[in-house]
């Protein structure tokens, strides 16, 4: 005798299938919270089979294995870890074309770098299963005009491999608006996916920097080598080079800075021409 399936039976089978998928997928999430603060969130990226493939999970190594000279996580090592993370972000920024292209405007300032280094240290020290992880870093800045309803978010992936520590920027100062006051789950809503290089997520590496920090390069369709300006490779020599410890701090003449600002003000007020502005700016930058 042939048994006919009713609509109720089909709905029951569909419900069982959905529950099966949910139970199996929720056991291992590709993204999970590692450590957070009010303005910075650090997420583990977990390897599920070979995914996420674009982050090359088989080659992941512990971040602390490169940043620390030993495997223990004592207070001295924490200070070493923080100092090295802080030194890294001194050289990564965005271009401020109004003054000079020699130094970037930092994406992660000193205060944010300290918060991030603390959270990363906690995350490395507290990996649940002990397996190397990649990280998703989300950082927000409150909008002063619409506090609680608008933020500027910067997001990037961080992973360690045998070749280098990779930083892959997805957003830089991305404006996000909310209809109602946002919470943690709102501003950290983020789908793990490969980023596309564009002007909105390109970073600028300071011209004066230690060796070992560079853009990721790959061959294009024509066979020439091109740089991916949203991806940074930090090689071991950056951490081990004496230059990284003794690189002299560049002191910018405060008087020169004020003169550049005054010159720009004159241009904006229409008191000098664009041609005169560029000529005088070039003369001032020669002094710098």
Res 142: pLDDT: 95
Instruction: Kindly indicate the confidence band of residue 2, based on its pLDDT and cuts at 50, 70 and 90.
Output: very low
Q: Which stretches of 101-198 are DSSP H helices?
A: 110-125, 184-187
268 belongs to a structural domain: yes
2 belongs to a structural domain: no
CA 37 and chain centroid, separation: 16
41 belongs to a structural domain: yes
Res 217: pLDDT: 86
Q: Rank 92-96, 185-189, 241-245 by mean pLDDT and report only the highest.
A: 185-189
Instruction: Kindly indicate the confidence band of residue 232, based on its pLDDT and cuts at 50, 70 and 90.
Output: very high
Lowest mean pLDDT among 63-77, 81-95, 164-178: 63-77
**How many independent structural domains does the chain possess?**
2
The reply to whether 50 and 149 lie within a common domain is: yes
- Pick the residue with more confidence: 173 or 241? 173
The reply to whether 140 and 106 lie within a common domain is: yes
The number of C-alpha atoms within 13 Å of 118 and in the hemisphere containing its C-beta is 11
Choose among 114, 108, 122, 151: nearest CA to 42.
122
The reply to whether 180 and 210 lie within a common domain is: yes
- E strands, 111-267, are 134-142, 150-160, 165-177, 204-205, 213-219, 225-234
The reply to whether 258 and 235 lie within a common domain is: no
> Is a pLDDT exceeding 70 seen at residue 18?
no
The reply to whether 221 and 272 lie within a common domain is: no
Res 206: pLDDT: 83
Choose among 137, 132, 125: nearest CA to 75.
125
Structure tokens, 32: 């999970």
Res 188: pLDDT: 97
Res 49: pLDDT: 84
Res 78: pLDDT: 84
The CA–CA distances, whole Å, from 68 to 20, 72, 132, 227, 280 equal 42, 9, 15, 29, 47
> Is a pLDDT exceeding 80 seen at residue 81?
yes
**With contact defined as beta carbons under 8 Å apart, do 45 and 170 qualify?**
no
The reply to whether 106 and 130 lie within a common domain is: yes
**Mean pLDDT (the chain, rounded):** 80
Choose among 192, 141, 132: nearest CA to 168.
192
> Is a pLDDT exceeding 90 seen at residue 60?
yes
Report the pLDDT averaged over residues 66-77.
66
The reply to whether 117 and 173 lie within a common domain is: yes
The reply to whether 139 and 69 lie within a common domain is: yes
- For 22-56, how does the pLDDT look when each residue is reduced to its tens digit (9 = 90+)? 334 444 588 999 999 999 999 999 998 888 999 99
Res 56: pLDDT: 93
Instruction: Kindly indicate the confidence band of residue 243, based on its pLDDT and cuts at 50, 70 and 90.
Output: very low
The CA–CA distances, whole Å, from 166 to 4, 19, 99, 183 equal 57, 37, 29, 30
The reply to whether 138 and 196 lie within a common domain is: yes
Lowest mean pLDDT among 5-19, 130-144, 151-165, 167-181: 5-19
The reply to whether 172 and 195 lie within a common domain is: yes
Lowest mean pLDDT among 47-61, 93-107, 118-132, 208-222: 93-107
> Is a pLDDT exceeding 70 seen at residue 213?
yes
Before 52, cis peptide (omega within 30)?
Answer: yes
The reply to whether 127 and 174 lie within a common domain is: yes
The reply to whether 96 and 233 lie within a common domain is: yes
Res 239: pLDDT: 78
165 belongs to a structural domain: yes
11 belongs to a structural domain: no
189 belongs to a structural domain: yes
- For 254-288, how does the pLDDT look when each residue is reduced to its tens digit (9 = 90+)? 566 677 778 777 877 778 776 777 677 767 766 65
34 belongs to a structural domain: yes
97 lies in which domain range? 29-240
Structure tokens, 152: 């500027």
Distance CA 75, CA 242 (A): 23
Distance CA 188, CA 192 (A): 12
Choose among 217, 213, 205: nearest CA to 244.
213
247 belongs to a structural domain: no
CB proximity list for 205: less than 8 A, separation 6 or greater: 91, 92, 104, 213, 214, 215, 232
Instruction: Kindly indicate the confidence band of residue 247, based on its pLDDT and cuts at 50, 70 and 90.
Output: very low
């Amino acid at each position: 005798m042939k048994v006919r399936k009713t609509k109720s039976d089909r709905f029951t089978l569909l419900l069982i299938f959905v529950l099966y998928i949910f139970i199996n997928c929720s056991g291992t999430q590709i993204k999970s919270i590692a450590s957070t603060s009010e303005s910075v969130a650090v997420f583990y990226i977990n390897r599920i089979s070979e995914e996420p493939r674009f982050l090359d999970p088989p080659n992941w190594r512990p971040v602390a294995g490169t940043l620390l000279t030993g495997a223990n996580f004592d207070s001295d090592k924490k200070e070493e870890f923080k100092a090295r993370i802080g030194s890294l972000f001194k050289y990564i920024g965005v271009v401020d074309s109004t003054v000079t292209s020699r130094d970037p405007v930092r994406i992660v300032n000193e205060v944010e770098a300290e918060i991030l280094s603390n959270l990363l240290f906690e995350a490395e020290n507290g990996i649940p299963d002990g397996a190397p992880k990649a990280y998703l870093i989300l950082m927000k800045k409150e909008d002063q005009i619409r506090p609680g309803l608008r933020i500027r978010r910067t997001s990037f992936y961080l992973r360690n491999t045998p070749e280098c520590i990779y930083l892959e920027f997805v957003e830089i100062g991305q404006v996000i608006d909310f209809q109602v006051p946002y919470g943690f789950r709102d501003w950290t809503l983020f789908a793990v996916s490969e980023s596309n290089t564009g002007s909105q997520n390109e970073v600028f590496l300071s011209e004066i920097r230690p060796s070992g920090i560079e853009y990721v390069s790959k061959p294009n369709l024509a066979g020439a080598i091109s740089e991916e300006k949203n991806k940074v490779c930090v090689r071991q020599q950056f951490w081990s080079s004496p230059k990284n410890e003794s690189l002299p701090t560049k002191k910018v003449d405060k008087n020169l800075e004020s003169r550049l600002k005054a010159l720009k003000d004159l241009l904006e007020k229409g008191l000098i021409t664009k041609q005169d502005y560029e000529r005088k700016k070039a003369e001032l930058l020669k002094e710098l």
